[in-house]
Chain A
Amino acid sequence: MYDLAIIGGGPAGLAAAYSAYEKGLRNIIILERDKELGGILNQCIHNGFGLHRFKEELSGPEYAHRYIEMLRDTGVEVRLDTMVLQVTPDKKIFLDSPSGYACIEAKSIVLSMGCRERTRGAISIPGSRPSGVFTAGAAQRYMNMEGLMAGKRVVILGSGDIGLIMARRMTLEGAKVLACVEVMPYSGGLTRNIVQCLNDFDIPLYLSHTVTEIRGDRRLEGLTVMQVDENRRPIPGTEMEFDCDTLLLSVGLIPENELTRGAGIEMDPRTNGAYVFENMETSIEGVFACGNVVHVHDLVDFVSDESARAGAAAAEYVQNGAVKGEFVRLVNGADVGYTVPQKMHRDTKADKIDIFFRVRSVFGKSQVVVSSGDTEIQVFKRPYMAPGEMQHIVIAADKLRDFDTITVTAKEA
């Protein structure tokens, strides 16, 4: 029986493992389906990782390497090429790997499976179904891991960060990126990526536009792009034709929670992740979740921070048992899409609570208000907020623990 089993050896799993080790746990196993640790970081060969966590600019593989090095002499067991197929509520884990199909048991579990990309089907782009339509991450894998070209004349739908990064990447590899098309009136990615990946390469960004038709019987031959109205419906007469062989989709990420659902853990439809407490515990005692499997992050640094809390909480659970008792509910108010955590143990030993959320529209000078009913608990000032940038506030646990429900609201200042 393991003290802690971590499902997924990407940035979340690595940080959780190290933090649990630091808190004194020794019998830890990481289960990773790929042939190496690091998860999606391994295909993110651009820099910009680690500015918060390590105060320097690293590439994805370098960032992963830091954690792999930190774990080197800890005795944390790593099983690669190992896919977890089922997690039961009593913490049995069924796994498949070339070295055997097996069931292991653990006192605590950290779920850190990450997320996957939304596909063409999710947004129902009409037209034919040729090759050359990739999710941005799949194209990134072909290019950065396998040394192959995904295409030569490229349109990118969605201005999520992976799409923006791929616009630059494909340009540097000799492809012509014709446009980045975004259905919303604002970008879904980080401002720094708009500047460094589109503007610096003169790639036009069409906001409030979408792809309305895909053409080509075999390989993609062309696309129609149209402007959309405020209800995201195409406006007749605004058609633009693109002659291209490749369409990259960067249209959102979905936390990958098949195992979570299979274990019967309560899910939040707003995040598509588990409901979690301030210590990242799910609705099953001793099962924690962290990273993109809980909610989609912009920066890996924040994944690491959140996962360190999950790992520490798993250690605390194994050593001292569960935090019991009543909880305070955190809910999203006006113009806020969700909050993580959604629950806080009233008797939490933590001094401060980290609250993450995303706003629903673009804000200039604005305020984040934490309140309960008519009681304003704390106000945070922000110079700018956008849906593409995850928001983070830290608030003293003592300010929250006496309330039943806490609401997080965003408003213009």
Chain B
Amino acid sequence: MYDVAIIGCGVSGASIAYRLSEFDLKTVVLEKENDVAMGATRANSAIIHAGYDPEEGTLMAKLNVRSVDMTAQLCKKLSVPYAQIGSLVLAFSAEEDAHVQKLYDRGVANGVPGLRILSADEVHEMEPNAADTVTSALYAPTAAVINPWEYALALAETAVVNGVEVRLNAAVTAIEKFDGGYRLTAGGETLEARYIVNAAGVEAALIHDMVLPHTFDITPNKGEYYLLDKSEGTRATHVVFQCPSKVGKGVLVSPTVHGNLIVGPNAVPCAAQDTSTTADDLAFVRTMAAKSIPSVDFRQNIRNFAGVRPNSTSDDFILECHDGFFDVAGIKSPGLASAAAIAEYVENLMADNGVPMHKKERFVDTREQVRFKSLPHQEREALVKENPLYGRVICRCETVTEGEIVDAIHRPITPRTVDGIKRRCEAGLGRCQGGFCGPRVVEILARELGCSRQDIDKDKTGSYIVRERED
């Protein structure tokens, strides 16, 4: 019998798993997909918000602001790309100037450090490509960009190093309460756990309803994006937001932590698993972005994608406990930015609800990863001498070596897909989108996992790439 079963291994589930791995608890994470970070965590704006947006007094406000520093520290220790570049909310009219003032006041009330209202001139000095029509802006120096899936992966991997079990392809299909615990059916297998943490993202209401009376709905909401080539990566140097208007919350333009430019999202209600894009929505994103930074060159697009926000019928995060069942639900924006503090909150909630929390003697809180391209010449030379696989560049666009891919395959949570490799070491993330390295990654995966190339999926189970030739 497990002490804790965490359902869902997105950034919330992974953050909680990481924190619980510090304690003497037998913990299992049940993830329905074939890898971790497969839902909202892998398709979002990748931003650690400063925390001026949520209404004062909400959990969102409290946890977001508290989380900013925690996230930076975690990323440092766990070798996750993170860059504190600051954010701007642009205003284009007197009405929006007033909104910027309101955000400033709210941010101050929420305890966000360093906020400033900038004049149009100051905006153009900081962000030379910003539109001439800007009238003012809110500057939040603590906002940051992050690699969101690597963040979740690093937390989950480190949790595994500390003894947590992660089960992939383990969709929870039934939960039964018994005296002293729960019996779960996950991926066709049965297991028991004293406590359950429901971090199931867009499926959180379904999981909740297996155990408790219906109290909330998840209202999935899709956001579509452009990811532009690194040649556009300096078009903006901060996270550039807009004020909400009649046509929506506004889209952002921001450099990513990898040096690309991200543009989006829109917001449309959708089905839970619908990550498709449409021509009209993408056109909307382009038009809106042009209002902030007119010179964005969309011909440099390398990928469109969409993510689904697990919005809910609650105005706030749902962090509650009933009889050993902990809901971590409706973790919409700023969910990524709040994950570290959400996990801390859940840890305290568990302690308050009688979960025995005894710290382990040994707790690993660091993670290391070779990133060949960021090493100086001498270190590259030494590394290749030590292991010649670092001498073979597989992904040309992002300069990722075979050594890094092999490392990724043998990390604590085994990737079995081409996209799993991309998320762990960035092979295929670049401008050719795996055109060159895809076949080689398939070959390395098959070799290292001892399977055939036909067994390698691109992404989710069933997304096969090649088949045997029929003779």
Contacts and interface: CB of A to CB of B under 8 A. Distances in A.
Contacts, number: 146
Interface residues of A, number: 52
Given A99-B388, A141-B439, A173 B381 contact: no
A138 B302 contact: no
Interface string B244-282: 000000000000000000000000000001011111011
Contacts of A101: 377, 380-381, 383-384, 391
B293 to A, nearest CB: 18
A188 B432 CA distance: 21
A217 interface: yes
Contact of A217 (B273, B305, B435): B273
B276 A126 contact: yes
Interface string A86-119: 0000000010111111110000000000001101
A146 interface: yes
A131 B275 contact: no
A122 interface: yes
Contacts of B432: 116-117, 119
Nearest to A215: B276
B453 A102 contact: no
A237 interface: no
Contacts of B377: 94, 101, 103
Interface string A130-164: 11100101100111011111111000000000000
Q: Size band of the B side of the interface?
A: 35 or more
A120 B305 CA distance: 11
Contact of B384 (A96, A149, A234): A96
B439 A142 contact: yes
A124 interface: yes
Contact of B302 (A99, A121, A132, A137): A121
B214 interface: no
A116 to B, nearest CB: 5
A128 interface: yes
A129 B227 CA distance: 14
A122 B305 CA distance: 13
A129 B384 contact: no
A372 interface: no
B469 interface: yes
Interface string A76-90: 000001010100000
Contact of B388 (A85, A98, A147): A98
Interface string B388-405: 111111001101010000
B466 A98 contact: no
Interface in B275-303: 275-279, 281-282, 298-299, 301-303
Specify the main secondary structure of chain B where it touches its partner: mixed
A296 B33 CA distance: 42
A321 interface: no
Contacts of A100: 381, 384-385, 391
A119 B302 contact: yes
Contact of A149 (B282, B303, B434, B470): B470
B50 to A, nearest CB: 30
B458 interface: yes
Contact of B466 (A83, A116, A117, A150): A150
A149 B275 contact: no
A265 to B, nearest CB: 15
Contact of A121 (B276, B433, B463): B433
Nearest to B385: A100
A6 to B, nearest CB: 18
A173 B469 contact: yes
Interface in A189-226: 212-213, 215, 217-219
A85 B385 CA distance: 17
A149 B466 contact: yes
B460 interface: yes
Given A85-B399, A126-B304, A131-B463, A96 B393 contact: yes
A349 B239 CA distance: 55
A174 interface: yes
B465 interface: yes
A127 interface: yes
Nearest to A148: B466
A33 interface: yes
A149 B433 contact: no
B454 interface: yes
Given A121-B433, A131-B464, A96 B401 contact: yes
Given A96-B401, A103-B377, A149 B467 contact: yes
Contact of A218 (B454, B462, B470): B462
Contacts of B396: 33, 83, 256, 258
Contacts of B439: 138, 141-142, 145-146
A19 B435 CA distance: 32
Contacts of A137: 435
A217 B282 contact: no
A405 B280 CA distance: 45
A121 B461 contact: no
B301 A122 contact: yes
A117 B435 contact: yes
B157 to A, nearest CB: 25
A98 B302 contact: no
Given A85-B399, A131-B458, A217-B460, A121 B467 contact: no
A213 B280 CA distance: 12
B468 interface: yes
Contacts of B434: 138
10 contacts: A83-B396, A96-B391, A100-B385, A101-B377, A101-B391, A121-B301, A124-B282, A127-B278, A129-B275, A149-B467
Interface of A: 33, 81, 83, 85, 94, 96-103, 116-117, 119-122, 124, 126-132, 135, 137-138, 141-143, 145-152, 173-174, 212-213, 215, 217-219, 234, 256, 258
Given A98-B388, A143-B469, A212-B279, 5 more contacts: A121-B304, A129-B305, A130-B463, A131-B463, A148-B467
A-B pairs, 9 with minimum CB distance? A98-B388, A131-B458, A218-B462, A83-B393, A131-B463, A98-B391, A148-B466, A218-B463, A121-B303
